[in-house]
A and B are shown apart, each in its own frame.
Chain A
Amino acid sequence: MEPDASIETSSMIRVAVLPIAGIPPLLFRDYAAMLLRHHTVSLNSISSFYTEHQKSPFANQPWESGSLRFKFILGGSPPSPWEDFQSNRKILAVIGICHCPSSPDLRSVANQFAAACKSYSSSLVQRCFAFCPGDSQLEEESNKGSNLVLFPPADRQTQEFHLQTMVQDIAASLLMEFEKWVLQAESGGTIFKTPLDSQASLSSEEVIKAKKRRLGRAQKTIGDYCLLAGSPVDANAHYSTALELTRLTADFFWYAGAMEGSVCALLVDHMGQKDPVLEDEVKYRYNSVILHYRKSFIQDNAQRVSPLSFELEATLKLARFLCRRELAKEVVELLTAAADGATSLIDASDKLVVYVEIARLFGALGYHRKAAFFSRQVAQLYLQQDNKLAATSAMQVLAMTTKAYRVQSRASSEPASDAGQSYADGGKMHHHSIVSLFESQWSTLQMVVLREILLSAVRAGDPLAAWSAAARLLRSYYPLITPAGQNGLASALANAAERLPLGTRCGDPALPFVRLHSFPLHSSQIDIVKRNPAREDWWVGSAPSGPFIYTPFSKGEPTHNNKQELTWVVGEPVQVLVELANPCGFEVMVESIYLSVQSRNLDAFPVSVSLPPNSSKVITLSGIPTKDGPVSIPGCIVHCFGVITEHFFKDVDNLLIGATQGLVLSDPFRSCGAAKLKNAHVPNISVVPPLPLLVSHIVGGDGSVMLYEGEIRDVWISLANAGTVPVQEAHISLSGKNQDCVVSVASDTLKSALPLKPGAEVTICVTLKAWQLGVMDADAAASKGVPGTSGKQVKDGSSPMLLIHYAGPTTNPGKLQMGSVPAPGRRLVIPLNICVLQGLSFVKARLLSMEIPAHIGETYTKLVKSRSDGTAQENGSERSDRFMKIDPYRGSWGLRFLELELSNPTDVVFETSVSVEIENPINKESLSDRTCAEFGDPKTRIDRDYTARVLIPLEHFKLPVLDGSFLTKGSQMDGITGGRSSSFSEKNIKAELNASIKNLISRIKVRWQSGRNSSGELDIKDAIQAALQASVMDVLLPDPLTFGFRLAKSSSNNSANLNPPKQADMQVYCASGGSIIAHDMTPMEVLVRNNTRETIKINLSVTCKDVAGENCIEGDKATVLWEGVLTGIIMEIPPLQEIRHIFSLYFLIPGEYTMSAAAVIDDANEVLRARARTNSSDEPIFCRGPPFHVRVNGTA
């Protein structure tokens, strides 16, 4: 049985090509390759070397079209026992190849060649080709007689030409030898024997039989030689004779042989033609060949030798001849028959050859699975032989089957891996294409094949192949392998790795499974912002901003949006998160894992991980970009089990998709309990040249700033340029919640520090004012028990952020083209971590009023003060009675206080101080100083968990005139007031009123201090406004009438005192004391002032009460005598004027009395009614003045 047999094999002359005298194998292969090209030599070309010594037996030699064909057998082969039967099995020529420089002694070369030729007894021609001889060797004469042919050193073309000539010479010599042989055979009595014939000493019967058969066999052999000599017509003639003769002698074996020869002759004759008739003829004849080979089976020597191999060979020859897609069915039948026959072959190597041939033919037919099946049979036959070479062969054969079984090593299937590329781009994939990824996954078979490869590789001593097979087996089929088996594979990996040199790479990844987890975005500290060169504020619009997920305006560039883009900066470390999974039952030690970067512009840092059994882990892989340009990260390089492999993310992604479709056995990540991950697609990553990098820290610690509500504090933020490029421009803005708590940012400081060189640092000041906690916040803080200690506030995102957009130089000095994209800028986000603690809390505000009756003296004390207010001297003199300022128009010591109730729920002590700024536009500074001095001193200390009240005096707020316009509510008022108060429009006055309320409120400040460095202000404006709202008219507006009492010195000078007394007068009166003595007529006067702009008619009455509150004027026990009218004093007061009514009292009993004046206003207008808050227009308006104090001394 011979491999590669075909019908035409019978017409090929076998030539052994032998290496002679230690020629280097590489050179031998090179020269042999040159020789192999001349496998066909046309008869035409050899005619010049051919000399006809006698009449050629090949009468019909086609000198024009025919050719001799050679089959070069490198290294030669042992003689076959079937040489007589098929002459083409004989080695008919020997060619030695020697390289002269490596063997200088040509004589010994010739000897060695001669020795080598001895084993080829059948050879008719011997030549030894010596290449590259030296000059001395060329001149040497000793080689003349031998078969040594020297090829003088020349270029390749010349050498090839030379070689061709030599081959033609050999062909001519062979042809002449054949002629000689045929002539001899026709005449001589050569006996042709095959191993089929009995080997025992020939009995007489046998001899007779052999003699009978000799002729037929000789004819067949002559036919063979004719065929070898390239003369099919002659061959056919001889074969026909042989067929006749062998049929007659029932020599079926030779009959079949002759038939085979005749088919070959037929084919050679019809060289290149393939018509169906010829095909049918060949098929018919070959079927008969097969039949006759089968017939020649002789039972008695079946143990030793059988013609079965010839039968199979003939079958295979026919199959090879027919091997075409259209005839697949016939070929399959033939091959199946051959496979059946192979089981009964005795010789293992014959079986091997049959299977190899079957596999090759199936492969040629396009039946790859069949081919793989028989290849595996071959491998199993190899594995049955227990030697290293056979194991190597088995391994190689199995490696060929891996494609059909879809377990090929990645190293051998490079183009296939590109098919999956589209997936990574599209992100989505059709179901069909996913399925196609897993097509023909016969896991059982794949495991068997891989296991056999592993076994053969271990036997063959190929650690890399073993490692690769074990890795494929473990990675793809771990769910089907028992834990013990998994451990075995792990140790196989370890054993293989031990025998591999350090740093060996393998195309097939083993464990762990690696998938891309995510690309962490830049931290807010080093965010990169695309620069918009057209705008001054270049950062606007570059980052997606706004609350909308979908914006109709940004619809323009769909291709741009669907893939996230990532920008990395040269020299700045980057991170990628990957997830590793080890679904097997042993611990996987990953010695190092790092990102594999095809674009070679990233220095990746290796990490070493240990994965316990059945576990997964997310790890961070980092690297530093080294050069600008795009980066692609297809996977990771993993050094595990002693070998370096590349793990592609795409493979695992495909695997996971397959798992979801139920096409793969198991999802390695899910079986390890890893969370389901959305498909993380790889963004477009580009590396940009170095950018400046601002690093910020808050001076005094980066922790959150703890502030009590309303606290004001300065925070210093230091900014340093940690990059290698100066910061050329920077802009500070605010974002986030509670932006108004940032009172001021010293952006000028930053601006003035530009350009900020690498390494330079600048400190800017930010003034913060803590905001008020909402109700919810306060509740949350309270429920936490320890208010404010946890940083919850920060997490809520209620803190504002400082955004600093900064950038380096606009263009690189290298490239100044207009089209170039400017280097991006960056954004630094400094979260101002403000933790607002609940501070003093405001409980309620109340307006309190209080009246202290004034002594009736000889002067109207308040009038004086009010007229002269604003002078420093006057104020100074009033210091003693600080709060008890006298209302100028009420004539009494009326006081109003705003009472604020504050509680301190915190655990620190607060001190509060209240200040009311007195309005003085002229010398504000001195005033404010004074205010501080005046109101700053009495600090109210509020201990923890206590509540305190703070009183704020309200004074100096009265308006001088009660004007109708303040109270206008409808249009009917206009008629009354419009004409008189022509100077103010309604609205103006209203606004003025509001403004004055606001003004009042804004002047009240409650400052607090706690500890050494916390201070702030309570925000109580709203509370005060709410408290004042009810009584704003009382506070701000004067009463329509004010009353005052005074002792009249005498009736004589009373009349002169219509005008308010001068300052000098007051001094006099005050000094005189103005005491009242009982039993003395006391002249008094009551002063009524009209504070409106209209004349008011009133009915005035004065009452006097004693200490007990009884009426002193009327009744039985009246203690006061009266003179003049004390009730029903009708008077009319012009607008903004005062009227004095003089009366006298005569006190009977000394003691304390209270005097008060009251008036009923007649014909009150709307303004007054509104002020008095009357319900109906009929109701009389009663105006009562404040009480005045009278002390009556006794006479004694």
Chain B
Amino acid sequence: MASTACFMIVSKNDIPIYEAEVGSVPKKEDAAHQHQFILHAALDIVQDMAWTTSAMFLKAIDRFNDLVVSVYVTAGHTRLMLLHDSRNDDGIKSFFQEVHELYIKTLLNPLYLPGSRITSSHFDTKVRALARKYL
């Protein structure tokens, strides 16, 4: 498991709809902000990168200091973004694919308004479990 990792889902309107600190290092408030800042800035790179490849998993597209941003873009242009400090592409890819499935299940919920925040605690639990498994 990566020592530092921050996972976020950003809707196609660039609104963060889910965020989780999934690192093993006890999280600090400031660091969490910094992670979000890095992910937010990486969106600029993603917006160009997403159209250069047909793959959903864009691999590590950006970095700041020793933190790397990996991104997975769904067909609906929802971006699953992971900030991490370890290089484990296969694990990250599996993680993204599993979370994507979870996200699709959430979308199938008729009471979920696409583009709004994901508040389901079940989703959160699952994501954290996946993070422990793959990262």
Residues of A within 8 A of B (CB): 328-329, 332, 336, 339-340, 343, 362, 367-370, 372-374, 376, 405, 435-436, 438-445, 448, 661-663
Q: Are A369 and B13 in contact (CB under 8 A)?
A: no
Residue from the list B13, B33, B63 in contact with A444, Cβ < 8 A: B33
Q: Are A439 and B116 in contact (CB under 8 A)?
A: no
Residue from the list A369, A435, A436, A448 in contact with B43, Cβ < 8 A: A369
Bound-state CA distance A464–B77 (Å) is 40
Bound-state CA distance A804–B62 (Å) is 77
Residues of B within 8 A of A (CB): 13-16, 19, 32-33, 36-38, 40-41, 43-45, 48, 62-65, 113, 115-117
CB distance from A330 to the nearest CB of B (A): 12
Q: Are A662 and B37 in contact (CB under 8 A)?
A: no
Query: Which residues does chain B contribute within 8 Å of A370, judged by CB atoms?
Result: 41, 44-45
CB distance from B40 to the nearest CB of A (A): 6
Residue among A329, A369, A661 with the highest chain B CB neighbour number at 10 A: A369
Bound-state CA distance A275–B5 (Å) is 44
Q: Are B33 and A441 in contact (CB under 8 A)?
A: no
CB distance from B108 to the nearest CB of A (A): 17
| Residue in chain A with minimal CB distance to B44 | A367
CB distance from A341 to the nearest CB of B (A): 11
Query: Which residues does chain A contribute within 8 Å of B36, judged by CB atoms?
Result: 442, 444-445
Given contacts A367-B45, A370-B45, A448-B33, whether A441 and B15 have CB atoms under 8 Å apart is: yes
Bound-state CA distance A443–B17 (Å) is 11
Contact sample, A vs B, 20 pairs, CB 8 Å cutoff:
A336-B63, A340-B63, A343-B65, A362-B44, A367-B41, A369-B40, A370-B44, A435-B15, A436-B13, A438-B13, A439-B15, A440-B13, A442-B40, A445-B33, A445-B36, A445-B37, A448-B37, A661-B113, A662-B113, A662-B117
Residue among B16, B19, B38 with the highest chain A CB neighbour number at 10 A: B16
Q: Are A329 and B48 in contact (CB under 8 A)?
A: yes
Bound-state CA distance A429–B39 (Å) is 31
| Residue in chain A with minimal CB distance to B19 | A444
**3 smallest A-B Cβ distances: which pairs?**
A662-B116, A373-B41, A367-B44
Query: Which residues does chain A contribute within 8 Å of B41, judged by CB atoms?
Result: 367, 369-370, 372-374
Bound-state CA distance A641–B30 (Å) is 30
Q: Are B15 and A438 in contact (CB under 8 A)?
A: yes
Query: Which residues does chain B contribute within 8 Å of A376, judged by CB atoms?
Result: 37
Q: Are B44 and A368 in contact (CB under 8 A)?
A: yes
CB distance from B38 to the nearest CB of A (A): 7
Q: Are A439 and B113 in contact (CB under 8 A)?
A: no
Bound-state CA distance A789–B113 (Å) is 56
Query: Which residues does chain B contribute within 8 Å of A373, judged by CB atoms?
Result: 37-38, 40-41, 64
CB distance from B7 to the nearest CB of A (A): 14
Residue among A328, A329, A376, A444 with the highest chain B CB neighbour number at 10 A: A444
Q: Are A445 and B63 in contact (CB under 8 A)?
A: no
Query: Which residues does chain A contribute within 8 Å of B19, judged by CB atoms?
Result: 444
Q: Are B40 and A445 in contact (CB under 8 A)?
A: yes
Bound-state CA distance A336–B42 (Å) is 11
CB distance from B115 to the nearest CB of A (A): 6
CB distance from B27 to the nearest CB of A (A): 13
| Residue in chain A with minimal CB distance to B15 | A441
Q: Are B64 and A339 in contact (CB under 8 A)?
A: yes
Query: Which residues does chain A contribute within 8 Å of B38, judged by CB atoms?
Result: 373
Query: Which residues does chain B contribute within 8 Å of A443, judged by CB atoms?
Result: 16
Residue among A343, A362, A448 with the highest chain B CB neighbour number at 10 A: A448
Q: Are B44 and A340 in contact (CB under 8 A)?
A: no
Q: Are B115 and A435 in contact (CB under 8 A)?
A: yes
CB distance from B88 to the nearest CB of A (A): 21
CB distance from B13 to the nearest CB of A (A): 5
Query: Which residues does chain A contribute within 8 Å of B113, judged by CB atoms?
Result: 661-662
Residue from the list B43, B45, B116 in contact with A661, Cβ < 8 A: B116
CB distance from B94 to the nearest CB of A (A): 26
| Residue in chain B with minimal CB distance to A432 | B13
Bound-state CA distance A1140–B78 (Å) is 123
| Residue in chain B with minimal CB distance to A438 | B15
Q: Are B115 and A332 in contact (CB under 8 A)?
A: no
Query: Which residues does chain A contribute within 8 Å of B44, judged by CB atoms?
Result: 362, 367-370
Bound-state CA distance A253–B39 (Å) is 37
| Residue in chain B with minimal CB distance to A367 | B44
| Residue in chain B with minimal CB distance to A660 | B113
Query: Which residues does chain A contribute within 8 Å of B65, judged by CB atoms?
Result: 340, 343
Bound-state CA distance A328–B45 (Å) is 9
Q: Are A328 and B40 in contact (CB under 8 A)?
A: no
| Residue in chain B with minimal CB distance to A444 | B36
CB distance from A555 to the nearest CB of B (A): 36
Residue among A343, A441, A662 with the highest chain B CB neighbour number at 10 A: A662
CB distance from B42 to the nearest CB of A (A): 8
Q: Are A663 and B37 in contact (CB under 8 A)?
A: no
Query: Which residues does chain B contribute within 8 Å of A438, judged by CB atoms?
Result: 13, 15
Given contacts A329-B48, A439-B14, A442-B16, whether A663 and B115 have CB atoms under 8 Å apart is: yes
Q: Are A336 and B62 in contact (CB under 8 A)?
A: yes
Query: Which residues does chain A contribute within 8 Å of B45, judged by CB atoms?
Result: 332, 367, 370
CB distance from B65 to the nearest CB of A (A): 6
Residue among B36, B40, B65 with the highest chain A CB neighbour number at 10 A: B40
**18 more A-B contacts (CB under 8 A) besides A328-B48, A436-B13, A445-B40?**
A329-B48, A336-B63, A368-B44, A369-B41, A373-B41, A376-B37, A405-B40, A435-B115, A439-B14, A439-B15, A442-B15, A443-B16, A445-B36, A445-B37, A661-B116, A662-B113, A662-B115, A662-B117
Query: Which residues does chain A contribute within 8 Å of B43, judged by CB atoms?
Result: 369
| Residue in chain B with minimal CB distance to A380 | B34
Query: Which residues does chain A contribute within 8 Å of B116, judged by CB atoms?
Result: 661-663
CB distance from B97 to the nearest CB of A (A): 25
Query: Which residues does chain A contribute within 8 Å of B14, judged by CB atoms?
Result: 439-440
Q: Are A440 and B15 in contact (CB under 8 A)?
A: yes
Query: Which residues does chain A contribute within 8 Å of B13, judged by CB atoms?
Result: 435-436, 438-440
Bound-state CA distance A444–B21 (Å) is 13
| Residue in chain A with minimal CB distance to B119 | A662
Query: Which residues does chain A contribute within 8 Å of B62, judged by CB atoms?
Result: 332, 336
Residue among A367, A440, A442, A448 with the highest chain B CB neighbour number at 10 A: A442
Bound-state CA distance A436–B48 (Å) is 20
CB distance from A662 to the nearest CB of B (A): 3
Query: Which residues does chain B contribute within 8 Å of A328, judged by CB atoms?
Result: 48
| Residue in chain A with minimal CB distance to B43 | A369
Bound-state CA distance A329–B53 (Å) is 14
| Residue in chain B with minimal CB distance to A336 | B63
Query: Which residues does chain A contribute within 8 Å of B48, judged by CB atoms?
Result: 328-329
Bound-state CA distance A370–B70 (Å) is 16
Bound-state CA distance A876–B117 (Å) is 103
Bound-state CA distance A411–B19 (Å) is 32
Bound-state CA distance A1125–B66 (Å) is 150
Bound-state CA distance A54–B115 (Å) is 76
Query: Which residues does chain B contribute within 8 Å of A661, judged by CB atoms?
Result: 113, 115-116
| Residue in chain B with minimal CB distance to A362 | B44
Bound-state CA distance A340–B67 (Å) is 11
Query: Which residues does chain B contribute within 8 Å of A340, judged by CB atoms?
Result: 63, 65
CB distance from A695 to the nearest CB of B (A): 54
CB distance from A413 to the nearest CB of B (A): 17
Bound-state CA distance A376–B14 (Å) is 19
CB distance from A368 to the nearest CB of B (A): 7
Bound-state CA distance A1070–B87 (Å) is 145
Query: Which residues does chain A contribute within 8 Å of B37, judged by CB atoms?
Result: 373, 376, 445, 448
Query: Which residues does chain B contribute within 8 Å of A362, judged by CB atoms?
Result: 44
Bound-state CA distance A376–B33 (Å) is 12
| Residue in chain A with minimal CB distance to B8 | A442
Bound-state CA distance A448–B45 (Å) is 22
Bound-state CA distance A370–B41 (Å) is 4
Bound-state CA distance A440–B33 (Å) is 16
| Residue in chain B with minimal CB distance to A449 | B37
Bound-state CA distance A584–B113 (Å) is 28
Bound-state CA distance A441–B14 (Å) is 7
Bound-state CA distance A339–B41 (Å) is 13
| Residue in chain A with minimal CB distance to B38 | A373
CB distance from A343 to the nearest CB of B (A): 6
